[in-house]
Amino acid sequence: MKKYEFTGETKQINLLFRTATLHRIRAVVEFGLVKIGDLGGWIEKEENLSHDGKAWVCGDAEVWGNAEVCGNAKVCGDAKVWGNAEVWGNAEVCGDAEVWGNAEVWGNAEVCGNAKVCGDAKVCGNAKVCGDAKVFSASHVLVIGAIGSRNDFTTFFRDKDGEITVKCGCFLGKIDRFLEKVASTHGNSKYALVYRAAVEVAKLQIDLTGEAPEMDEE
């Protein structure tokens, strides 16, 4: 059974090699927090958004090409997903985030802010990639947890400056600033030692070399 329909409202977007027509969608059944009649975002074709599960595209979000949103995933805000990208599970892509290429976002992962995830990157589990992230390889993201006083997950990722940014609870900033925050909050406690160890692992694991692939919009 279909869970949404095209409203008849369309818009054109100019891509590299073609012009795509995107269709505004509207829910025809109730699922999750979506009610019958709720307007959704924009997709190029039904293959972009599964009729199964609670997956939804809303706000001014756009999905086109061979990209697929399924499971209970959500693409919202002004986010854009295209190419062969896949967003599934309970993942969320929101804000001004962009996901393209062969990238995959799944699990309970979140991609938000001005983050860009592309190439063969995989953002999964409890990862939170946000801010000015620029992730285009599986070696650009590291999630460690549950650790710390909150027993929460901490995400380290490559940012647009070719450096490491940390998302930990309400904290979002460069890795050096994170260490300063850890020292001021936890001193030399067990929590501080664990966070510092996680930082050392992140420095070893996250690849800061190479340039991101060109933004191919088909």
What was the pLDDT predicted at 218? 61
- Number of Cβ within a 10 Å radius of residue 46: 14
Closest CA to 79 of 64, 90, 172, 88: 64
pLDDT tens, N- to C-terminus, the chain (218 residues): 899 999 999 999 998 888 999 999 999 999 999 999 999 999 999 999 999 999 999 999 999 999 999 999 999 999 999 999 999 999 999 999 999 999 999 999 999 999 999 999 999 999 999 999 999 999 999 999 999 988 999 999 999 999 999 999 999 999 999 999 999 999 999 999 999 999 999 999 999 987 766 555 56
What pairs with residue 159 in β-bridges?
133
Q: What angle do CA 198, 203, 205 make, to 5 degrees?
A: 90
Alpha-carbon gap, residue 62 to 56, rounded angstroms: 11
Helices 175-186 and 190-205 cross at an angle (nearest 10°) of: 170
CB 105 within 8 A of CB 111: yes
* pLDDT at position 84: 95
What pLDDT, on a 0 to 100 scale, did the predictor assign at position 150? 87
Say what the pTM is: 0.90
Supply 181's token pair: 């925050």
pLDDT tens per residue, range 142-162: 999 999 988 999 999 999 999
What whole-number distance in Å separates Cα of residue 99 and Cα of residue 186? 36
CB atoms within 10 A of CB 5: 14
- Tell me whether residue 184 is exposed, middle or buried, using C-beta atoms within 10 angstroms of its C-beta: 0 to 12, 13 to 18, 19 or more: exposed
